[in-house]
Amino acid sequence: MHEPQISRRSIFKLVAAASAAGSLLPAGAEPPKPLSKHVNNPFSDPDYNNPTIPWDKPMVASELATLTVLVDLILPADEESPAASAIDLPDFLNEWVGAPYAENREDHDTIRGGVSWINTHAYKLHGREFKDLAEAQQTAILDTICDPAKAAPELAYGARFFQKLRMLTLGGYYSHPATWKALGYVGNVPIAGPYPGVPEEIIKMLGLEGL
Amino acid sequence: MAILTDRKSLREYDVIIVGSGAGGGMMGMLLALNGVKVLMIEAGRNYDPQKETPMFNTPDKAPLRGKGTQDRFFGHYDATVGGGWQVPGEPYGDKPGTEEEFWWWRPRMLGGRTNHWGRISLRFGEYDFKPKSRDGLGFDWPISYTDLAPYYDKAELMVGIYGSTEGLENTPDSPPGILQPAPKPRAAELLIKKYSKGLNIPVVPIHRAVLSEPMDGPARAAKLFPNNPSAQRIVGNDMSMRAACFWATTCGRGCSIRANFQSTTVLIPPALQTGNLDIITDAMVREVMMDANGKATGVHYVDKITRTDAIAKARIVILSASTCETARILLNSKSALFPNGLANGSGQVGKNLTDSVGSSMGGHVPELESLPPYNEDGAGGGHVYTPWWNYKTQEKLGFARGYHIEMGGGRYMPGMGSLAILDQKAPGVYGKKLKEEAKRYYGAVVGFAGRGEMIPNENCYCEIDPNRVDQWGIPTLRFHWKWSDHEINQATHMQNTFAEIINSMGGKATPKPGKEALNKPGEIIHEAGTAMMGSDAKSSVVNSFGQTWDVKNLFLMDASILPSNPDKNLTLTVLALAWRSADYLLDEMKQGNI
Ligand SMILES: Cc1cc2nc3c(=O)[nH]c(=O)nc-3n(C[C@H](O)[C@H](O)[C@H](O)COP(=O)(O)OP(=O)(O)OC[C@H]3O[C@@H](n4cnc5c(N)ncnc54)[C@H](O)[C@@H]3O)c2cc1C
Ligand code: SF4
């Protein structure tokens, strides 16, 4: 068999480097001559490796402080994975609500309006804004709004806010690699040779023998 | 990677090819390997997969966690440059009275859609070439499976395809020594197979343009180019430098180790090494230029960077700008000799437009909950599929022709929507308990997508919009569409089948009626038919080699020439047809006929 000029093993290393900066030019090919302008449009032709976020993050410090408390109540730290705020979920939410797309514009109102709502609600109940309450007071409020099917009608707005915030927090949190091992995602690593397939343990569990 | 030609020093060319995707890339490579001087003109920008592919980048490094948006439909990292359903400054529209809105996918990059396609590569079967003879609908091809089979062999050897041979009806096997082994199925795929068995629905390895092992370049090249030592050397070396898939990352981002097929990683590099191919990018062709005798002399294009008009000349012109764009160029190339557009003596240019029938469904499967983790990335796409299995009962189904099913499930790289299921399965839960629920439900879903054959009908076509030009001053297309009952009933059948499988797996699925469940026309991105091949000039635009009946030195080489659009995603067939046409064209050139 004809040996490839770059062995598979070194390719694995090279690829990691190439996706960051360099390239893997085939022998004999010439480097590109920059006659073509890279018509960079951050929306339709982004720089894959150094993307910019082409819109503003609208939320201010006080809103982010409330969200910090909220996202950590939704996804707190444990032995296996970080608290949501530790991977800067509030900043992600700020990026999310600033985006120009219809879905994000709607979420903008739900999230910012919801932060104000929960602070007003906390004030009415305890005379303080949400983030300054004791944790037991905070979870007592969340328990009244966390399930939209069970929330009292006068808390419907809070329930809708929490439902949206919970789903955005779940999405933002588990799409961050710091959470993957705990979740059970172990991919995004190269494997040499044939694809190994399903471990025997799982074949047995699911009765997949002989398929 | 591309050697871009300085526009001021263009040479004399034998052939101009418009477009650098599947059809243009294959044509360009084969002609260049045979000593023909080729100029390839591409509307998109230069694109270097080896430098630009964000293979291992994680969602947290991208805007909105890499999620799909109106601007980037398949997500931030998807290898679609400069376009998608909309290209800034290049609109298209719907003809008043249309029942459906057509969606037209266009990138603007070297290699076209081959950079981000799904790599599913199925041969059309013998029935697929003679559909009208079988059920009276649509059009027969002027060639049969046996005419194209040797070219499927070549295209598959060149591209590198994994798959298996199963001996199934109208689902041709490749001869021994061509396919590479299919990767083992994942857990969800095996579980689908287990339950589908009980429903008599086959699940077999799919064929995809991904290398499951390294290529033995010299051996393959010797088979492909027996009498051409320089082609053997160039292609043989280049093939051997492609690495095998390392079972990580998704193919839609492109593949910087060249394990999957892209025109930019497989066809253009060896073509450039011949020294016979020049490429200019950012050049949008408006029309084909003609002389007084009705011969094509070259093309007229807009240099997008300077916004100036330019001309390129050659003895032969090949349009490979993709199905609808090739029709657009022909229809815009009007002259006294060709008042209805070029090569349109039959009046068929723009007509007979089809796309695959598409419908999909997802479902939760309790057995997949809380499985021990293992690496399920695999080959960046499906490992198995269901070929159409109802040939024997076709007459009772209420629609002609069939569909295949693409399927998957399990624990892929988490993105924004990966835990959406918790909205229903674990409402109200927060705190540490929510993390438990996330672990339990992550990956416990399966999904099915049907891809079926649409029959051409007179209500589905594109034409030039009389009132609109794009930012380059080129008249735009507008579309007209109406599904027939065949497609609607087929989509209903898909929904019922998917629900049946999901329910048999312990899930709960409710099928939708076909009309509601049908994807948009164009949404499956398998457009075909706008410049159909046929056996005479009255009823078709080109002969079986893609040569237009009306203009001898004008060829079309993309899916516009397909007379039918079987369920078997069409790109492999475009590649095989390109090979057959290249052989014909080389021969005609040698004989001095063109
Ligand atoms: C997300 C996705 C998934 C897909 N999955 C599959 C699959 O699994 N299997 C399958 O078989 N097919 C699949 N397809 C379809 C496949 O990509 C196309 O069939 C194939 O690329 C068609 O090749 P082409 O040469 O006709 O056109 P393209 O690949 O689109 O190339 C055409 C090129 O011409 C250029 N061009 C257009 N107009 C002009 C002009 N006026 N002047 C100069 N240049 C021009 C374009 O910029 C483009 O680069 C998929 C497509 C997409 C988008
Ligand atoms: S899955 Fe394999 S073929 Fe696809 S991009 Fe990754 S390495 Fe390349």
ipTM for the assembly: 0.94
Candidates A16, A23, A92; nearest CB to B51: A23
DSSP character at residue B394:
G
How many A/B residue pairs have CB atoms within 8 Å?
A: 293
In a mutational test of the A interface, the residue from B77, B86, B241 whose CB has the highest number of chain A CBs within 10 Å is B241
Give the pLDDT score at B10. 67
Q: CB of B255 closer than 6 A to ligand 2?
A: yes
Residue with tokens 């939320």: A59
Task: Note the pLDDT tens digit of each residue in B426-481.
Answer: 999 999 999 999 999 999 999 999 999 999 999 999 999 999 999 999 999 999 99
Q: Which residues sit opposite B357 in a β-bridge?
A: B452
Residue B318 has pLDDT above 90, yes or no: yes
d(CA B258, CA A8): 12
Q: CB of B259 closer than 6 A to ligand 2?
A: yes
Q: Where does residue A31 rank: exposed (0-12), middle (13-18), buried (19+ CB within 10 A)?
A: exposed
* Residue B489 pLDDT grade (very low, low, confident, very high; cuts 50, 70, 90): very high
Kind of pairing, strands B403-409 and B554-556?
unpaired
Phi, psi (degrees; rounded to nearest 5) at B44: -85, 180
* Exposure of B329 in the CB half-sphere (CA atoms within 13 A): 29
d(CA B501, CA B198): 9
**What is the full per-residue pLDDT of chain A (211 aa) written as tens digits?**
343 343 443 444 434 433 333 333 444 444 334 334 445 688 889 988 888 898 999 999 999 999 999 999 999 999 999 999 999 999 999 999 999 999 999 999 999 999 999 999 999 999 999 999 999 999 999 999 999 999 999 999 999 999 999 999 999 999 999 999 999 999 999 999 999 999 999 999 999 999 9
Contacts of residue B571, defined as CB under 8 A and 6 or more positions apart, other chains included, come to B22, B114, B117, B121, B559
Of A102, A115, A103, A99, nearest to A58 by C-alpha is A99
- Look at B420 and A167 and tell me if their CB atoms are within 8 Å: yes
Of B547, B329, B354, nearest to B457 by C-alpha is B354
Contacts of residue A72, defined as CB under 8 A and 6 or more positions apart, other chains included, come to A83, A84, A85
Give the pLDDT score at A34. 37
Give the pLDDT score at A22. 32
Give the pLDDT score at A25. 40
**In chain B, what residues touch A6 (CB-CB under 8 Å)?**
241, 243
- Contact status, residue B33 vs residue B274, Cβ threshold 8 Å: yes
Kind of pairing, strands B403-409 and B384-386?
antiparallel
Give the pLDDT score at A159. 98
Q: In what order do the strands lie in the sheet with B93-94?
A: B93-94, B475-480, B461-469
Give the pLDDT score at B4. 57
Residue B199 has pLDDT above 80, yes or no: yes
Runs of H (alpha helix) within B7-85 = 22-33, 49-52
Give the pLDDT score at A112. 98
**In chain B, what residues touch A48 (CB-CB under 8 Å)?**
52-54, 57, 76-77
Q: How far is the CA of A90 from the centre of ligand 2 (A)?
A: 34
Give the pLDDT score at A27. 41
Residue B192 has pLDDT above 60, yes or no: yes
Residue B176 has pLDDT above 50, yes or no: yes
Q: Which of B87, B113, B558 to mutate to test the pocket of ligand 1 (most atoms within 8 A of CB)?
A: B113
How far are the Cα atoms of B409, B428, B491 from residue B568, in angstroms, in the given order?
22, 44, 16
**In chain B, what residues touch A208 (CB-CB under 8 Å)?**
187, 190-191, 194
* Residue B5 pLDDT grade (very low, low, confident, very high; cuts 50, 70, 90): low
pTM of this structure: 0.94
At A176, is the secondary structure helix, strand, or coil?
Answer: coil
Q: Which residues sit opposite B264 in a β-bridge?
A: none
What is the least distance, in Å, from the CA of A75 to any CA of chain B? 5
b/e map of A132-159 (b: 16 or more CB within 10 Å)?
A: bbeeeebeebbebbbebeebeeebebbb
d(CA B21, CA B9): 24
d(CA B473, CA B332): 11
Which of the pair, B570 or B50, is modelled with greater confidence? B570
d(CA B580, CA B151): 6
Rounded to the nearest 5 percent, the helix, strand and coil shares of chain B are 30, 20, 50
What is the least distance, in Å, from the CA of A100 to any CA of chain B? 10
Q: Which ligand has the shortest distance to the CA of B72? A: 1
CB count in 10 Å sphere of residue B59: 24
Kind of pairing, strands B296-303 and B308-319?
antiparallel
- Look at A172 and B416 and tell me if their CB atoms are within 8 Å: yes
- Contact status, residue B223 vs residue B233, Cβ threshold 8 Å: no
- Contact status, residue A80 vs residue A182, Cβ threshold 8 Å: yes
Give the pLDDT score at A43. 86
Residue B566 has pLDDT above 80, yes or no: yes
Residue nearest to atom 31 of ligand 1 (CA): B21
Which residue in A has a C-alpha nearest to residue B84's C-alpha?
A44
Residue with tokens 């649509």: B138
Give the pLDDT score at B270. 97
Q: How far is the CA of B322 from the centre of ligand 1 (A)?
A: 6
Of B272, B143, B297, B569, nearest to A27 by C-alpha is B272
Q: Structure tokens of A137?
A: 């007071």
Task: Note the pLDDT tens digit of each residue in B102-147.
Answer: 999 999 999 999 999 999 999 999 999 999 999 999 999 999 999 9
Candidates B256, B427, B432; nearest CB to A78: B432
In a mutational test of the B interface, the residue from A8, A19, A37 whose CB has the highest number of chain B CBs within 10 Å is A19
Residue nearest to atom 7 of ligand 2 (CA): B245
Of B160, B105, B121, nearest to B525 by C-alpha is B105
Q: Does A150 touch chain B (CB under 8 A)?
A: yes
Q: Which of B56, B116, B249, B250 to mutate to test the pocket of ligand 2 (most atoms within 8 A of CB)?
A: B249
Q: CB of B251 closer than 6 A to ligand 2?
A: yes
**In chain A, what residues touch B236 (CB-CB under 8 Å)?**
2
Q: Length of chain B in residues, anyone?
A: 594
Residue B3 has pLDDT above 60, yes or no: no
For every residue of B220-267, which 3-state class applies, written as one string?
HHHHHCCCCHHHHHHHHHHHHCCCCCCCCCCHHHCCCCCCECCHHHHH
- Look at B411 and A187 and tell me if their CB atoms are within 8 Å: yes
- Look at A197 and B185 and tell me if their CB atoms are within 8 Å: yes
Q: How far is the CA of B376 from the centre of ligand 2 (A)?
A: 13
**B365, amino acid identity:** V
Q: CB of B224 closer than 6 A to ligand 1?
A: no
User: What average pLDDT score do residues B163-182 get?
Assistant: 98
